[in-house]
Structure 1
Amino acid sequence: MIANPLEDKARGLSKMYIQIGGLRIWFACVDPQFLSGLIPQLKMMCVVFFVIFFAEENGTKEMVPVLAGTYCLSSFLFTWKSFSLLFAVMLKSYDGRPVYNHTLALTLVEYTSAVYMSDLAQLFTWTCERCNGLTKGFQVIEIIVDIEYCLQAYVGVAKDLNAIIIAFRGTQEHSIQNWISDLFWKQLDLNYPDMPDAMVHHGFYTAYHNTTVRPAVLGAVKRAKKFYGENISTIMVTGHSMGGAMAAFCGLDLVVNEGEENVQVMTFGQPRIGNADFASYYSLLVPNTFRITHDHDIVPHLPPYFYYFPRKTYHHFPTEVWVRELSVLKLVRFGVEKVCDNTGEDPTCCR
């Protein structure tokens, strides 16, 4: 059973990412926004640790100066560390790219989780396990199911975000068709205007463009705009794993072929879907895109990137947000979200 992140804020985005991917080997992580709440606990842990250590060596009479010194030192170290972390995030926000919104990521990962629900009645009425908290009040317009290729998605309206939400389900463990798409590494010419030399993953491209998914999604978007036109300011597309790949193609399709101007894409554990030329075009056309990755997730590393053949290999588009695990004295583990560079293949991130 998947828990609501509001019940355990300290684990936040990383916990939700873990649960979607089914990677139980990850430890509980703490998101940067909640790091300030953890600092006092870390201070006290340091105090207790050193108090016990010196108590055994020196006795209780030595405790007052040790306690004061340890607390001051830990206060300085953790305060400086948190300030440095915030400063680094601020620097990343002023390089001309869209600013990463952690709260929005927490919301969209919930929408991404909901699309995995097998009870379509609960999904349509938005009464499922994920249909509360950050996503409460969501109005489903249409649920899309392609039985032949084992694909699922939904389109709806989030009034609190003034947005149409499109969510794509990821790879199903027992779906042969999905695994064939994942492992089919043949590249295909992309017939988008003004995209010479752009090549994409055949399986992922086909899953969106050559199935019943695309016409159903576009039709639902038009109906949503008709019913809620005045309340819609943006279209947000999301998905996990293969669903992330389909979300990226959908976002690009909305901009290039449907003329949509305000499209945001946020994916979780998305594989590479095209070469460097495609990545360049994509980043220009859909700049408000974030790929959330984790250092224990292998999917974003696939298909492989070959450093010595950058123009002839698969290449991620920006912007990656890398969730990685850190530890303090091997006692406390927490997650830090790093906004990576604008190349799509930042060597200091997930690549």
Structure 2
Amino acid sequence: MLFIFSVLICKSFSHSSIPYSDQLSRNKLIYAAISAYASPPQSCMSLAFQNFQVKPQITVACDTLDDTCSGFTGVDHESQAILVAFRGTNRNAQLLVEAVETVFANNKSWVSGGHVSEYFSDAFFKIWTSGMKDDVISLMSRYPSYQVWVTGHSLGGALASLAATYLRYTSLVSADQLLLVTFGQPRTGNMDFATSVDNLVPNAYRVTHSHDPVPHLPGQGHHGYFHHKSEVYYNKNMGGWEICEKDESEKCSNGNLVDLDFEDHFHYFNLDILKLGFSNCLNTTPSGIQ
């Protein structure tokens, strides 16, 4: 695949008031996504944020198999941003593949439009109603001028996209105030849901890494699932990237369906996401790998 990579710069688009920033994703938001795997998140957040104030982590049962879903909120006064972060799956790659049919087989209508995975919808609302709603409203009441950053990796990316549309649909956040950045997000809902994200959340960026298989799950059209825009597609070493404005574009990860590798899913910006998160970021070597 031939395309020109832009390195370590921001690109501006007419539809976005918050352009994509490689530096923000690489140096802050990926650590927020990793922090969602930690318990508590503060130890990982301190690697990238100065004096970040974390609200209590919220962890709930999200199925009948003793799996949990989790998220947290907080505020970064240096960046003047409120953060909402969701944890990805705590299953290994094999179990994730085996769970695909269970996670995506059933869907339900979503408040902003379209249908989404019932699993994702139920997980979001369990976290939201277990304290996250109160934390977000409290922070926004205290800091109404701050941006709101919503992020997550894998399953956490799917929950983040639901959270972003919910915040907009309920008018808790303005469009120019909200930034959604996900990492390795699976397809979350159908085409109507994708359209609702495109319309409600113009500053939405799905970061994908080279041969990461999870953005291809479920297969395009399977149960009607379809990605929202905009995709930020990084090369193998995540040194260069390009943005695809279409919901589904062959110029980005859709054009790279061979030799899929779960290592690319678990490594973003040369960080071992699960090893760092589950160790509470005690391992802080440059590559994130011991």
Pair in the same fold by TM > 0.5: yes
Question: Separation in 1 of the partners of 2:20 and 2:239?
Answer: 16
Residues 316 and 117 from structure 1, CA distance in 2 versus in 1: closer, same or farther, beyond 3 angstroms?
Answer: same
Matched residue of 1:252: which SS? helix
Higher helix proportion, which one?
1
Matched residue of 2:247: which SS? coil
Conserved? CA contact 1:168–1:240, under 8 Å: yes
Q: Does 2:253 correspond to 1:350?
A: yes
Q: Does 2:75 correspond to 1:157?
A: yes
Percent of aligned pairs with the same amino acid: 27
TM-score (norm. length: structure 2): 0.74
Higher strand proportion, which one?
2
Matched residue of 1:135: which SS? coil
Q: Which of 109, 119, 128 does residue 190 from structure 1 map onto?
A: 109
Q: Which of 190, 206, 228 does residue 317 from structure 1 map onto?
A: 228
1:128-163 CA-to-partner distances (Å, cap 9, x unmatched) read 1x2334312100122111145411211100111211
Q: Which of 135, 139, 143 does residue 57 from structure 2 map onto?
A: 143
Question: Separation in 2 of the partners of 1:269 and 1:157?
Answer: 24
1:185-236 CA-to-partner distances (Å, cap 9, x unmatched) read 224342426x3xx121221122112x2444421111122234x326x42211
Letter in 2 for 1:248: S
Instruction: Give the RMSD, CA atoms, in angstroms.
Output: 2.8
Residues 225 and 347 from structure 1, CA distance in 2 versus in 1: closer, same or farther, beyond 3 angstroms?
Answer: same
Conserved? CA contact 1:171–1:178, under 8 Å: no
Unaligned stretches of 5+ in structure 2? Answer: 255-290
Unaligned stretches of 5+ in structure 1? Answer: 1-29, 34-85, 326-332
Q: Which of 246, 252, 263 does residue 178 from structure 2 map onto?
A: 263
TM-score (norm. length: structure 1): 0.62
Q: Which of 203, 210, 215 does residue 119 from structure 2 map onto?
A: 203
Q: Which of 113, 126, 131 does residue 34 from structure 2 map onto?
A: 113
Conserved? CA contact 1:204–1:246, under 8 Å: yes
Letter in 1 for 2:84: I
1:23-102 equivalent positions in 2, closer than 5 A: 32-33=7-8, 93-97=12-16, 98-102=18-22
Conserved? CA contact 1:180–1:203, under 8 Å: no
Q: Which of 194, 208, 233 does residue 146 from structure 2 map onto?
A: 233
Letter in 1 for 2:29: L
Letter in 2 for 1:313: G
Q: Which of 71, 87, 109 does residue 169 from structure 1 map onto?
A: 87
Structure possessing the higher relative contact order (Cα contacts under 8 Å, 6 or more residues apart): 2
Letter in 1 for 2:77: K
Distance apart, 1:181 and its partner CA: 7.1
